[in-house]
Amino acid sequence: MGRLEEQLASVLDKRQHIAKRRKLVVNSPNSIDFSSNDFLGLAQNTALRQRYLDELNALDTILGSTGSRLLDGNSQYAIDLEQRIARFHNADTALLFNSGFDANTGLLSTLPQKGDIVIYDELIHASVHEGMRVSRAGRLIPFKHSDVNDLNRVLTDICPTDKNVFITVETVYSMDGDVVPLVEIIQILKKYWPQRENGYIIVDEAHATGVYGENGRGVVCQLGLEKEIFARLHTFGKSLASNGAAVLGSNTLRDYLINYSRPLIYSTFMSFNNLASIKCAYDVLECGETRPIQRHLHNITQQFRKAIELPTGTLLPSDSPIQGIVLNGNAPVRALAGYLNKRGFIVKPICSPTVPKGQERVRICLHGHNTTEQIDALVASVHDFFNVQKTNVIVPTFTSNALEPAKL
C-alpha cells in the first residue's frame, strides 16, 4: 500500500472508530419501505411503468443526448418538456438540470452579483452551500431554522443596502419534515422592499413536489405565491420516480443560467429516456391520477401521528410525510432502527454529528404505497420496542426541553 493509500485508510479508520463511516447498503426486497423519498410510490407504479414504456416505443431516439445542452445535447423534446413544466407550475420558464444538486449549485454560484448578500435557513441543503461557497456574494448569513423573527433581525442588521439580497429556503425540510412559513417570510421582506426593489426569495421544492398543492404542484402554488418568488427548484428524483430538476423563473433568469451556470454548460445533458420518464411523471400529475395518492399519503401521515405514543423521546413536529422519532444518543436510535429492520421495516438512524448531539433520530418516510395496516404494524413495533427496552434500560430518558433541528 502506497503512502497516499495509507493516509486514506487511516482517515477511514478514524471515521469508523467514531461510528461515522458511510457504506452502501442494499435494502431487502421483502421489507416495507418507510425510508425512501418515493413519497407517491410512483417508482413501483405499474401504470406509470407502462406509460413510460409506451413513450419510449413512440420515440425515434431513446438513448444518450450525445453532448452538453449548448452543443449537441439539446432537442425540441427537451424544450417542449420545459415549457410544459413551466405551465404546470404557473411559471414563466423552466430550465432542466441533470440533478437537484446541479440546479442548486448552478443557481447559487452564478446568481449573486459581486458583493451581494445571501441569507439562508440554517438547515438549507448542502447543494446550496456548495453554490454559495463559490459565488461572488460578499456576505453569506444564516438565520435560525424557519424563525421569521431571526430573519427580521438579520435584515435589520444589513438594511439599508443597495446590494441584491437573496433569501433561500426549502418548502419541506428533508430531516425535520416541517413546512417553511413562506407567507410570513414574504411579509417580512415587504417591510424592507415594498416594491420588491432588491429582495429576492429562492425556494427549493424538492420534497414538496408531487406531495403538496393541486396535483402536486408544490407549496408555492398551493399558497398562490408564484409571483412572490424569484426562483423555484423542483426535482424529479423523489416523488416523480425519475431524476433531474428544473429551475423556474423569468425568461431573463433562464437566459442568464444558460450563459453562466457551469453545471449546465459543462455537463452532458440527460438522455432521452430520462426526459421521457420526467414527461410521463408529469402526465400522471397533470391528469389527476395522483390526487387519490396524495390524499391517502396525508391521511396515513395523520394516522401515524395520532396512533404513536412514545414513553420516551420526541416525535418531530411535522405534518409532512417525513416523520422522525428523536432520542438521546446514537446507541438508542441505532437500537430502534435495528429493531424495526428486523421486524421487516426499512428505516434509517440519523446519528450525531449529522444532527446535534441529543437530537439523534430514526427518520421515517411515509408513502402512497404504504397501507393503513402497514402504518398500524409499524406503530405497534415501535411500541413493542419501547416496552422491551424499558425493561433492559437501553433507552435513556430524553431530557431536552427544546428540539434543535437537524443540520446536514
DSSP 179: B
Q: Which residue among 37, 198, 271, 341 is the active-site one?
A: 37
Query: Does residue 57 have an active-site annotation?
Result: no
Distance between terminal CA atoms of the chain? 33
Query: Does residue 174 have an active-site annotation?
Result: yes
Q: Where are the beta strands (DSSP E) in 328-382?
A: 345-346, 348-350, 360-365
CB atoms within 10 A of CB 400: 12
Q: Are strands 199-204 and 231-235 parallel, antiparallel or unpaired?
A: parallel
CA distances in angstroms from 189 to 123, 167, 393, 397, listed in the order given: 20, 9, 50, 41
Q: Which residue among 152, 174, 277, 318 is the active-site one?
A: 174
Q: Which residue among 238, 279, 348, 367 is the active-site one?
A: 238
Q: Look up residue 202 and give its amino acid.
A: I
CB atoms within 10 A of CB 176: 27
Of 325, 372, 1, residue with least CA distance to 176:
325
Query: Does residue 125 have an active-site annotation?
Result: yes
Of 106, 175, 152, 159, residue with least CA distance to 325:
175
Query: Does residue 226 have an active-site annotation?
Result: no
Query: Does residue 306 have an active-site annotation?
Result: no
314: enclosing H helix or E strand: strand 314-315
Q: Which residue among 145, 207, 348, 367 is the active-site one?
A: 207
**Partners of residue 246 on adjacent β-strands:** 96, 234
Interatomic CA distance for residues 282 and 8, integer angstroms = 44
Query: Does residue 207 have an active-site annotation?
Result: yes
What the block records as the C-alpha cell of 225 is: 405565491
Q: Which residue among 38, 82, 170, 205 is the active-site one?
A: 170
CA distances in angstroms from 115 to 58, 138, 165, 203, 401, listed in the order given: 50, 4, 10, 21, 40
Catalytically active residues, by annotation: 37, 125, 170, 174, 204, 207, 238
